[in-house]
Structure 1
Amino acid sequence: MSFLYILSWISTAIHIVFITISIAAGLYYVAELVEEYTQTARKLITMMISATVFVYILFMFFDNLPWKMIICGLIAQIFHGLIMSNFPFVRFLSFPFIAAVVFLIINHMLAFQHFISFYYPFVEVLAYFTICLWLVPFSLFVSLSANDNVLPTTVNDSMGSQDVVTNYFSRGKKQGLLSLFNYAKDSLLPTRNKKSF
């Protein structure tokens, strides 16, 4: 075993760390954009759902993909559209959210089953997974933190003693993707102490 071979593994590990940090920084930036521009994010995600439905319709005419994959993908996009009806508020225990997750898993299983059975170039498989399976769910995942900064409009307080703003600020800690990144930044990265002269 040569020394250059060992260096190649060390270099690969360094590249993986840099890529991971770059992806995390990009996710943080996108999460901030979604929180700042929720209506624009809603329009973009709705356009992505429409584009994915259009791609599935084109699959019916131009490719030999199994009908199970196409129908399952179209049903998943219907549930994604139902999730968007309350955007930026996403309820994890709502029927559309749970059904979208179930159809995402089923669609992955059907896609793996099909692409293992028939040969396709890697680029085509990656294109299917990226555009048809990952784009919309990933966008919804990034936008989960958007409802942390949306001002409330009604109070669901059983006591009725607090007004809207007091209830909003007394709810406790926010729990979105951006909050997770802020916690990781504060707890994992070293902090600089400012010198006072």
Structure 2
Amino acid sequence: MPGFLYLLSWVSTIVHICLGTLALAAALYYLAELVEEYTSTVAKVIRYWIWVTIGLYILLFLFESLPSSVILCGLVSQLVHLSILRTFPFFYLTSLPFIIGIVLFFINHYLAFSYFSSFYYPASEVLAYFTMCVWLVPFMFFISLSANENVLPTRAESRPFLSNEDDFVTGYFNKRGKKYGLLSFFNYLKEEFFPQRGKKAF
């Protein structure tokens, strides 16, 4: 029979997961607000980091033994990111660069996972590669969706936010007169689950 501390460790793990999720949501909300307020600055930061990532791939090619397919796929991905950045902060989900960028994102993961599973590298080095070379630029684009009014239609049908036949997700997408993006989604969550009480007049 498991001891009390063992059971308590599972409860603690659940608490840690919940707190980590809340911390991540708060960080995403804050970053989304920064993106909406400083759109041009964010575009410059993304552009600079794309070029930094290209430089990192060149250094990896010169000083590490990563296969050429991983390096080439990473370099092409960054060139596609530069193409996507041309229309920043507007992202056209059906555009060819956007679709190619998503495909290359998964191909890059497949090639990297295949290589790192065949050759031993410390976990910190593997995480460093994925964080700095694979994840950071797409993460910046994901956060920047809050600055894009064309991600989803800006107008919907004129009906209540949540009608009887609407669920949570449908209510969000059918909100009339709203801008849609990461920040607006977080604002909807805040209004839905943490409504602000009106101030009492004395």
Q: Does the TM-score normalized on the shorter chain lie above 0.5?
A: yes
Number of the residue aligned with 1:81: 82
| Structure 2 Cα separation of the partners of residues 32 and 9 of structure 1 | 35
Letter in 1 for 2:65: N
1:185 aligns with 2:190: yes
Residue segments in structure 1 that go unaligned for 5+ positions in a row: 150-170
- Size of the alignment, in residue pairs? 176
Residue segments in structure 2 that go unaligned for 5+ positions in a row: 151-175
Offset at residue 128 of structure 1 (A): 0.6
Number of the residue aligned with 1:20: 21
- Once the two structures are superposed, residues 21-49 of structure 1 have per-residue CA deviations (whole angstroms, 9 ceiling, x without a partner) of 11111111111111101110000000110
Offset at residue 174 of structure 1 (A): 1.4
| Structure 2 Cα separation of the partners of residues 120 and 30 of structure 1 | 32
Offset at residue 185 of structure 1 (A): 1.3
Number of the residue aligned with 1:157: none
- Once the two structures are superposed, residues 93-142 of structure 1 have per-residue CA deviations (whole angstroms, 9 ceiling, x without a partner) of 11111100000000001111111111110000000110111000000000
Number of the residue aligned with 2:179: 174
1:38 aligns with 2:39: yes
TM-score, scaled to structure 1? 0.85
Offset at residue 192 of structure 1 (A): 3.9
| Structure 1 Cα separation of the partners of residues 192 and 119 of structure 2 | 47
Identity of aligned residues (%): 56
Number of the residue aligned with 1:154: none
- Aligned ranges for residues 39-58 of structure 1 at < 5 Å? 39-58=40-59
| Structure 2 Cα separation of the partners of residues 81 and 110 of structure 1 | 22
Number of the residue aligned with 2:140: 139
| Structure 2 Cα separation of the partners of residues 133 and 71 of structure 1 | 13
Runs of 4+ in 1 over 4 A off after TM superposition: none
- Please tell me the root mean square deviation across aligned C-alpha atoms, in Å: 1.6
Number of the residue aligned with 1:158: none
Offset at residue 179 of structure 1 (A): 0.9
TM-score, scaled to structure 2? 0.83
| Structure 1 Cα separation of the partners of residues 198 and 13 of structure 2 | 33
Number of the residue aligned with 2:153: none
- Once the two structures are superposed, residues 63-83 of structure 1 have per-residue CA deviations (whole angstroms, 9 ceiling, x without a partner) of 000110000000000000001
Number of the residue aligned with 1:8: 9
Which structure exhibits the higher relative contact order, with contacts defined as CA atoms closer than 8 Å and separated by 6 or more residues? 1
